[in-house]
Amino acid sequence: MIRNVKEIDGIAIQRLNKDQLGYDYPLNKTNKNLKRLLNDSRHHYMLVFEDDNTKKVNGYVHAELYEETYFDPMFNILALAVDATSQNKGIGKQLMLKVEKIAKNCGVSSIRLNSGESRLGAHEFYKKLGYVNNKSQKRFEKTLD
């Protein structure tokens, strides 16, 4: 079953971020961020796939409304993660299709996402859903004191 994320999902989301996306971010900070994001329902859309029988969260997606001066508003997928034991069962596809439906209901006509160069399986997954790689870029970051 796909449902909206709740604050109690922080443990599962932190685990998925660590195990599937490689982001080993502390649980207390994950929970703090999750609470803040859930309070911004105009810009952040977060869904989980919960197993009907076990009630275990096996995947999640986080999309944001991305608005800029140089193109129409779009959704930006910030995270999509499915537990390794639940992959290739249609969970990621269901989550993405639900986000696409939400985007259409919001009047948004496109979705974008970034995927690490080494995540070749993810690239094939997105291509199967109709996403195209339309840009190569470098990401720059600066840690502020």
* Structural domain range at position 80: 2-128
Does residue 82 form part of some domain?
yes
Does residue 66 form part of some domain?
yes
66: confidence class by pLDDT, cuts 50, 70, 90: very high
44: confidence class by pLDDT, cuts 50, 70, 90: very high
Could you tell me what percent of the chain has a pLDDT over 90?
88
Measure the CA–CA gap between 119 and 121, rounded to whole angstroms. 6
What is the average per-residue pLDDT within 133-139? 85
Q: What is the CATH number of the domain that holds 119?
A: 3.40.630.30
Does residue 43 form part of some domain?
yes
Element (H, E) at 92: helix 91-105
Q: What is each CA distance from 66 to 71, 90, 108, 111, 125, in whole angstroms?
A: 10, 26, 10, 9, 23
Q: Which two tokens stand for residue 116?
A: 């690490």
This prediction has a pTM of 0.93
Measure the CA–CA gap between 72 and 87, rounded to whole angstroms. 33
**Could you tell me which residues are beta bridge partners of residue 73?**
none
For residue 72, pLDDT over 90 is answered with yes
Does residue 137 form part of some domain?
no
Domain total in the chain: 1
